[in-house]
Amino acid sequence: MPGFEFFGEEERKEVNDVLQTGILMRYGFDGPRKGIWKSKELEEMICKTFDCKYAQLVSSGTAALTTALAALGVGAGDEVIMPAFTFVASFEAVLSVGAIPVLVDIDETLTLSPDAVIKAITSKTKCIMPVHMCGSMADLDALIKICKEYKLLLLEDACQSIGASYKGKHLGTIGNAGTFSFDFVKTVTCAEGGAVITNDESIYIKSDGYSDHGHDHKGVDRGADLHPFIGYNFRISELHAAVGLAQFRKLEKFLQIQKKNHQQLKDILSQIPEVSFRSIPDPAGDSCTFLSWFLPTEELMRGVVAELKDKNILAGNFYWFDNNWHYIRKWDHLKNAGSLNNLNDEQKIALEKIKHASFAASDNIMNKCISTSITLLLTEEQIKDKGDKMVAAIKKVLAKQNIIA
């Protein structure tokens, strides 16, 4: 899954280009930078790779979500519907623009349940934010239909699914805007970085300004820029963009390896009739960063987690149900409105509601689910060995359960 497995000469060369001029900033210094514009080059490459009109690089995936929300005009009083299974960045970004996170259930796609979305719509709903978790996609046809019917914006969090697609279109380019993260464990990394992508010129112009103190970037120098609106500093540096550029050139290779390794592991686990797999709206578009699989009951899955741990092979197998970062069950800081600064009253009410809400439908999926991360550097033999050990652990737990039953 992570690009950091392939860090090498290519990345060093790009970074050295920047170090040679010493111009580490992405804007200005036109003369001294001697034609080196790594951020611009990477933005062009992202547009070309994903067939979209505009890309704005920023300092992280969280910054990309925050910027995209602001550019979409989402703010105080607006509700954003998002899934209960996601990374904490999703609600952080929503809260940071003053808006209200509305968390709803997922389904077997491990992404937003369209039925749960419909039930959560109110007169305050402004945006639906599907999160394409673990390399694969939400049911976008259903969500687009809802957005059209209720006149809502669609913001795709594609941070974990770079290179995945849905019916021939790249994830992130289908909604009004999309976001990527290039943090250290993502499909391509530049240490820290992210991007807002869109086909809408006005969202792009707003993202461009918002991520750089509201600069309109029309002046001959930064001092001459106007500020049509208030912005913040979410800029990426040229050093980060340089690493990203080298990584992006390898994206196709990463995806090919991921798909091959994913298929091999899936074939091995498929031997066990009790194992089922995540439902994927467009299987051909899966970027295959993870293989997500289920057992029939929580008890069985907990048994397997314990067995994998016992055999020292739990690493890379994520039982999200017990995880502090990715699933609502353990987000006590959110439920208790543990904010350093004062949240607005509507946000406080919304968080109190989340604290008492039931996510039984999601619990019922997540408590039986493991996502196994697909590493790039494993050989065919190593994957076979890993898969065989997982199969042995699962069979052992199944056998025990049958004896008890």
Ligand X SMILES: *Cc1c(COP(=O)(O)O)cnc(C)c1O
Summarize as ranges the residues that interact with ligand X (CB under 6 A).
60-62, 86-87, 89-90, 131, 157, 159-160, 181, 183, 194
Catalytic residue among 38, 186, 206, 250, which? Answer: 186
Could you give the C-alpha distances from 49 to 12, 54, 57, 169, in angstroms and in order?
22, 12, 15, 11
Q: State how far the Cα of 162 lies from the Cα of 134, in Å rounded to an integer.
A: 10
Cα torsion for 163, 165, 169, 173, to the nearest 10°?
Answer: -60
**Rounded to the nearest whole angstrom, what is the least distance from the CB of residue 395 to ligand X in the complex?**
32
Question: What is the maximal distance between C-alpha atoms in the chain?
Answer: 77
Nearer to ligand X, 87 or 293 (CB): 87
- Does 186 participate in catalysis according to the annotation? yes
Nearer to ligand X, 289 or 303 (CB): 289
**Rounded to the nearest whole angstrom, what is the least distance from the CB of residue 65 to ligand X in the complex?**
6
In 121-223, which residue ranges form alpha helices assigned H by DSSP? 140-150, 201-210
Nearer to ligand X, 116 or 138 (CB): 138
Q: State how far the Cα of 153 lies from the Cα of 69, in Å rounded to an integer.
A: 10
Distinct helix (H) and strand (E) counts, the chain: 14, 13
Q: State how far the Cα of 117 lies from the Cα of 120, in Å rounded to an integer.
A: 5
**Rounded to the nearest whole angstrom, what is the least distance from the CB of residue 48 to ligand X in the complex?**
22
Q: If you write DSSP's letter for every residue of 125-141 in order, what string do you get?
A: EEEE--B-GGG----HH
**Rounded to the nearest whole angstrom, what is the least distance from the CB of residue 79 to ligand X in the complex?**
19
Q: State how far the Cα of 129 lies from the Cα of 397, in Å rounded to an integer.
A: 38
**Rounded to the nearest whole angstrom, what is the least distance from the CB of residue 62 to ligand X in the complex?**
3
The 3-state DSSP class for residue 80 equals strand
Report whether 316 contacts 372 (CB < 8 A). yes
Report whether 143 contacts 157 (CB < 8 A). no
Nearer to ligand X, 69 or 383 (CB): 69
In this structure, is the dihedral angle defined by the CA atoms of residues 279, 294, 305 and 393, taken in order, positive or negative? negative
Could you give the C-alpha distances from 400 to 269, 293, 299, in angstroms and in order?
19, 20, 12
**Rounded to the nearest whole angstrom, what is the least distance from the CB of residue 277 to ligand X in the complex?**
20
The 3-state DSSP class for residue 112 equals strand
The distance from CA 8 to its chain's CA centroid, rounded to whole angstroms, is 25
**Rounded to the nearest whole angstrom, what is the least distance from the CB of residue 368 to ligand X in the complex?**
21
**Rounded to the nearest whole angstrom, what is the least distance from the CB of residue 52 to ligand X in the complex?**
18
Report whether 146 contacts 175 (CB < 8 A). no
Report whether 83 contacts 112 (CB < 8 A). yes
Q: State how far the Cα of 391 lies from the Cα of 349, in Å rounded to an integer.
A: 46
Q: State how far the Cα of 7 lies from the Cα of 249, in Å rounded to an integer.
A: 12
Q: State how far the Cα of 374 lies from the Cα of 1, in Å rounded to an integer.
A: 5
Nearer to ligand X, 5 or 149 (CB): 5
Closest-approach residue to ligand X (CB) = 61
Question: Which positions are annotated as active-site residues?
Answer: 186
